[in-house]
Every structure is written in structure tokens, then in C-alpha cells.
Amino acid sequence: MNIPIDLIAHLPFYPSKPVFALIASSHCIRLIIFSFAFGLIVLMAVLQKLVETQEQRNSGEKSETLDLSSDFSGSIVPFSLFIIFGTTRDSVRTMSLLVCPWRNRRNKSTVGAQQQQQDPENQLRMTPKASSSGNQFSFEDMLRQG
Amino acid sequence: MSLDTTYLILEYVGIVLLLFLFGHCVYRSINYTLQIICLVAIVNNLNESVLFVHYGSHVSTEAQGTTGCLVSAILEHFVPLALTIMAGCMGFNVWFLIVRTSTLVERQLIKWYCLVSFGVPLITTAIAIILLRDEPYWTAYPRRYYCSMGENDVTLGTFTIFMLLGAVFGIIFTRRLYEPGVLINCKEPASRYTTLTCCRFLSPSRLYASVHTVVYLTRHYLRTRRSMNSSGSSFQRSIVLELR
């Protein structure tokens, strides 16, 4: 597997584990996109104040487009936040949990069990191993196991 | 659909999306800075829509001089600034944890982020109110949907400049993430001749370099994830792959 070594070296936790490098890289991609998108939104909000001259302010003449973009800049922020940070697989899971919790429960109890029975390899993968911390999905234990 | 209806729908759908994002982060105990940003953005959306809900499309004619307009103008001076500085803090946080390899965690730093992102707007808003105390209604005037402080030199110095500084602050810190050697190993033959490696030297093409970096990082992330999945990595691992 081709994992950049420098990325792992710069991580504060579990530096020998490449899986955290991927988490960080995914987070960084989203953060870079967000910072530029947010910069554009801020520019939309303040462009009117920067561009308009003192004479225009005194006479009350306003650019309709700049005025409108400044008004709408605040309502774009939630959408950019949701598109960038709310589209992870984790948040899709939370969404499905919210929208149809009963379906989730059914999947867990019946469909998941059927799949496990059909696929012995998958069954091995899905079976949590014994954990020293008591939490069967603990990241620490998972990483200790490699 | 009229512009006013579109505006109202955008504001309230935005609130729902923010509530979901906030709930998701709280439920999974992740992204504490993002949780604060969501809450501040909800307050911002409510502030920008409450006058429009009350007065309808007559905000610009009927809200002038009312207490609601004054409060809306002050909040419009305070909240977007807090939001921008908090977004900058989010960039700083990842830079501090990954590039500086700090042993502190986000939960320990969040109180300082809150202090900065609410303290600075509080000071600038107080300065603006003191400087504009002799003006009628502190120059608060109704726009199309909400009220705002007048466009004068005081608001330029206490709002606009700080908004731009906050946005640049975030971009600077996230920019450090795609410098050579931080996220991508430059000694790799595949990335040696990319614009990513050259972005330090070619300052006019930095925007292009940053777009290229995002594309490169995304491709790298997807390729590695695919190779991990096809090599029989466990289900638990694929959960860990997702953004936390």
C-alpha cells in the first residue's frame, strides 16, 4: 500500500498506523475546500462595503447585484457547511438512524445476520475480537491488533 | 417562486441542515469547533429571518427606528464576525494538531477558540457602538430582509476588515497543510513534478495549485481507500477510514 510516510510522521496519534493518515487527509481535503468556500462567502458579504465609494454611500446609489449577494451570503453558509462536512459516510449513517431507526434495527438483526451466515469470510471480519477496554469497537484495540 | 420566498426557504432549510450537522457531531463526539460554528450559524440565520417573518416584504419601509431593527443590526455586526473567526480557528486547529504535532486535543483548545471568536467581535461591536453613539439609531438601517449598521468608515474598520482577516487567517493555516512534506511525500516519483511541489515558488499560480492539490489529495485518498478495501481490510477499518 502506497502511504506517504511524511503524513504519518506528522500525525500526533498512532504515528505507525496508516489508517489515521487517511482520516487526517480526508479531513484536510474538506477543510481546504471549506476555507476557500468560506472565503468566497465572506467576500460576497463584504464586497459591497469595499467597492462602494464615499459618493455612492452619500447619494444612496447601490448596486442591486452586490446588495443581493450580500443579503444572501448568510443563507449560503449552512449549505456549504452541510455539503462539505455533512456528506461523510458517518453522517449518512446518522441520517439513516434518524430517518428510519426501525429499518436500521431490522437490518442489524435480520439482514446482517443472513449475510454473515452466507459469507463465512465476512463473518470472520464482522466478529469483534475481545477487547481489553471492554468496548468491542474501541479504536485503540483495533489498532493494537493491526 | 419569488426571491423573498426563496430567501425564507434557504434560511429555514439551512437551520434544519445545521441542526442535523450539530446533532451528528454531538452524537459521534467529533468536531467540537464545527459544533460551535453550527450553533452560531443557526443564530445568524434566525437573526436574518426574524424581521422578514414579522414585517413580510415591508422590512425596508416599516422596520426603520424600531428596537427590533437595532438589535438585528447589532447582532448582524457581531454574529457573522464570530462565525468567520471560528471558521479560522477550525483551520488553525488542524494545523496545530497535524503540522505542529501538538499533544493537546480539540476539546482542551475549544475554550480558547471560543474566547477569541466571541471576544474579538464583542470588542469591535462595543467600539462601533461607542463611536456611533451620536448617530440616529447607531446608523442601523433596514435592508431588504434584515437590519444592518450603516456603511461608513466605522463599520469598515470594525467589521469588514476583521471579516476579511478572519477568512484569510483560515486560508493561511489550511494552506500550510498542502505545502510539500506536510501531507504529501515529495520524494515520491509520482508527486515530484506536480504543481503541488512547485506551489511554493510559483506564487501567481497558487490558486491553480490549491485546486490541483484538492484534486490530487482526493484522488490519493480514494485510491488508497479502494486498495485497502480490495486487500480484505476489515469492516471495522473501513469505519475508521471515514472522517472523524
d(CA A78, CA B57): 23
d(CA A58, CA A9): 57
Among A146, A20, A133, A2, which residue's Cα sits nearest to residue B190?
Answer: A2
> Looking at CA atoms only, how far is residue A54 from chain B in angstroms?
8
Q: Is A4 on the interface with B (CB under 8 A)?
A: yes
Establish, for the pair of chains A and B, how many residue pairs have beta carbons separated by less than 8 Å.
224
- Please state the CATH superfamily assignment of the domain spanning residues B3-178 in this structure: Rhodopsin 7-helix transmembrane proteins (1.20.1070.10)
pLDDT (tens digit per residue) in B111-125: 999 999 999 999 999
Contact B31 A52 (CB under 8 A): no
HSE, side-chain direction, 13 A CA sphere, residue A78: 26
pLDDT (tens digit per residue) in B43-85: 999 999 999 999 888 887 888 888 999 999 999 999 999 999 9
CB-count exposure of residue B116 (10 Å: 0-12, 13-18, 19+):
middle
Chain B residues with CB under 8 Å of A7 CB are: 182-185
Looking at residue A59, what is its pLDDT?
Answer: 66
Which has the minimum average pLDDT: A6-15, A36-45, B14-23?
A6-15
Chain A residues with CB under 8 Å of B182 CB are: 6-7, 10
Domain boundaries, chain A: 5-87
Chain B residues with CB under 8 Å of A20 CB are: 240
CB environment A95-127: b (16+ within 10 A), e (fewer):
eeeeeeeeeeeeeeeeeeeeeeeeeeeeeebee
Contact B220 A25 (CB under 8 A): yes
pLDDT (tens digit per residue) in B23-47: 999 988 888 999 999 999 999 999 9
Q: Is A109 on the interface with B (CB under 8 A)?
A: no
Alpha helices in chain A (DSSP H): 5-9, 18-51, 54-59, 64-85, 89-99, 101-106, 112-118, 120-126, 139-145
When pLDDT is averaged across residues B78-100 and rounded to a whole number, the result is: 87
Sign, CA torsion B240/A140/A142/A109? negative
pLDDT (tens digit per residue) in B183-217: 544 344 333 333 333 333 334 445 555 555 566 66
Domain boundaries, chain B: 3-178, 180-244
Contact A45 B218 (CB under 8 A): no
